[in-house]
Amino acid sequence: MGAVSYTLGGGLGILAREFGYAADHVRRLEVVTADGELRRVTPDSDPELYWALLGAGQNLGVVTELEIGLVPVRTLYGGSLAFDGRAVDPAALLRAYEAWTRTSPTLGSARAGGPPSDGLTSSFAAVPYPDLPALPPHLRGTYVVSIRVACTGADGDALVAPLREIGPVLSDSLREMPYAESHTIHSDPDFPHAYYGDSAVLRDLYVDGARAGELLRATGPEAGQMCVVQINHLGRALARPAPNAVPYREGRFLVRLLTVGDREGARAVLDPAFALLAGDSLGRSLNFAFGAGDRGTGLYDPDTRKRLARVKETCDPANLFRRNYGVSAPC
C-alpha cells in the first residue's frame, strides 16, 4: 500500500481516534500539476490546492513529496480478541462491542502523566474463512469474529476488561508492545491479493434489534461468497475539523466490506448488505472503495464535491488525471 495515496485518501491509522487522519498531519506537498509545473504547496502558499490535495489529490496531480508532522509514540497497548463466530452469536458480540464504544471513554484510568484514555481506537471484524488447502489448518472453514484495540497512555487491561467478559475467546493478543509491533494488531496480509470492496460512513451503527443479525447473515459464512466485515469506531480526533477535503467527520462508524471473486458475485453480496445501512450512511470512504464498479458517487458530501470541482477546473481543466474516481462530475 502506497504511503502517498493512503494519505491523499485520508489515512485511517491504527491510533486514528487519538491522532486524527494522516492527512491532518501533512505540512507540505510537492506536486506536479497537469500543466507540468512542480508546485510546493502549503496551507499558506495555496490554501485551496492544499485543501483539495488532502482528500482528492489523486485527481489533481502527481505528488512527489510529502512533509508530515510526527507524533512521539514508543509503546502502545493493543491487540485482538478473537471469538469463534459459530460458538458465540456474532450479532450479540457486535451489539456488545457497540455498547462498549459508548462506555470506553470513561473506563479505566489514565496512567499518571499520560493522556486521557478516551482516544482508544478500536474495530470489529468478522471473517468467514473458506475451507481451502491454501489456508493454515487452524483457520480452514472457521468463522472468526474479533475486536481490535489500540491506545497509548492508558490502563489498557482495565479498558478492555468488559470485552474479555463477553464470552470464551479463541485468542487474546492484547498487550503492551513497542510501536514497531503495531502491525500485528490487524495482521493484514503482507502480500498483494485481489478483491472488491466498498464502505459506508455511518452517522451511527444502530445495531439494536435485528439489524446486526441481518448485516452479519448477509456477509457471513452463508453469503455465497467470502466477505470480510470490518467496522471502525470513528469520532474524537477524527471528528476535529481540519483544512482538508477529507469528508464525513461527523460519522461515528465506518463499515468496510471486502469480497474476493468476480465483480458480479461481489456486488451480489455487497449491494444487499449496504442497502441495510443506506438510511444511516453519510457516504463512502475513498480509501476503502476497491474497484466496486461505479463512478465515485457518495465519496464526498455535496459542498465538498462542488469545492473540489472548482479546484479541478482551475488546475486540471482538461481532466488529465481521470483514471480514478473523478471530482469533476456532479455528485
First CA to last CA distance, the chain: 27
Q: Does 5 bind ligand FAD (CB under 6 A)?
A: yes
Nearest to 234 by CA among 257, 246, 247, 251: 251
Q: Does 1 bind ligand FAD (CB under 6 A)?
A: yes
**CB under 8 Å to 262, separation ≥6 — which residues?**
none
- From 57-65, 87-95, 128-136, 199-207, span contacting ligand FAD (CB under 6 A): 57-65
181, with CB counted inside 10 A (0-12, 13-18, 19+), is middle
Shortest Å distance, C-beta 195 to ligand FAD: 8
Find out whether 20 and 68 touch, Cβ atoms under 8 Å.
no
Helix, strand, or coil here: 238? helix
Query: 94: part of which helix (H) or strand (E)?
Result: helix 90-103
Shortest Å distance, C-beta 188 to ligand FAD: 4
Using CB under 6 A as the binding criterion, the count of chain residues that bind ligand FAD stands at 17
In the bound complex, which residue of the shown chain has the CB atom lying closest to ligand FAD? 2
C-alpha–C-alpha distance, residues 130 and 12, integer Å:
28
8, with CB counted inside 10 A (0-12, 13-18, 19+), is buried
Q: Does 68 bind ligand FAD (CB under 6 A)?
A: no
- From 55-63, 81-89, 120-128, 244-252, span contacting ligand FAD (CB under 6 A): 55-63
- From 6-14, 38-46, 95-103, 310-318, span contacting ligand FAD (CB under 6 A): 6-14
Query: 145: part of which helix (H) or strand (E)?
Result: strand 143-151
- From 44-52, 56-64, 94-102, 305-313, span contacting ligand FAD (CB under 6 A): 56-64
Q: Which three cell numbers stand for residue 2?
A: 502506497
Q: Which residue shows C-alpha cell 473458506? A: 130
Q: Does 63 bind ligand FAD (CB under 6 A)?
A: yes
Q: Does 10 bind ligand FAD (CB under 6 A)?
A: yes
Find out whether 97 and 147 touch, Cβ atoms under 8 Å.
yes
For ligand FAD, the closer CB: 6 or 129: 6
Q: Does 12 bind ligand FAD (CB under 6 A)?
A: yes
Find out whether 316 and 34 touch, Cβ atoms under 8 Å.
yes
Kindly tell me which residue out of 34, 62, 110, 170 binds ligand FAD, with binding defined by CB under 6 A.
62
Shortest Å distance, C-beta 227 to ligand FAD: 15
Per-residue contact string for residues 149-188; x = within reach of ligand FAD by CB under 6 A: ---------------------------------------x
Helix 90-103 with 211-219: angle, nearest 10 deg? 120
Q: Does 190 bind ligand FAD (CB under 6 A)?
A: no
Kindly tell me which residue out of 58, 146, 173, 230 binds ligand FAD, with binding defined by CB under 6 A.
58
Per-residue contact string for residues 273-302; x = within reach of ligand FAD by CB under 6 A: --------------x---------------
Residues found near ligand FAD in the complex (CB under 6 A): 1-2, 4-6, 8-12, 57-58, 62-63, 188, 287, 324
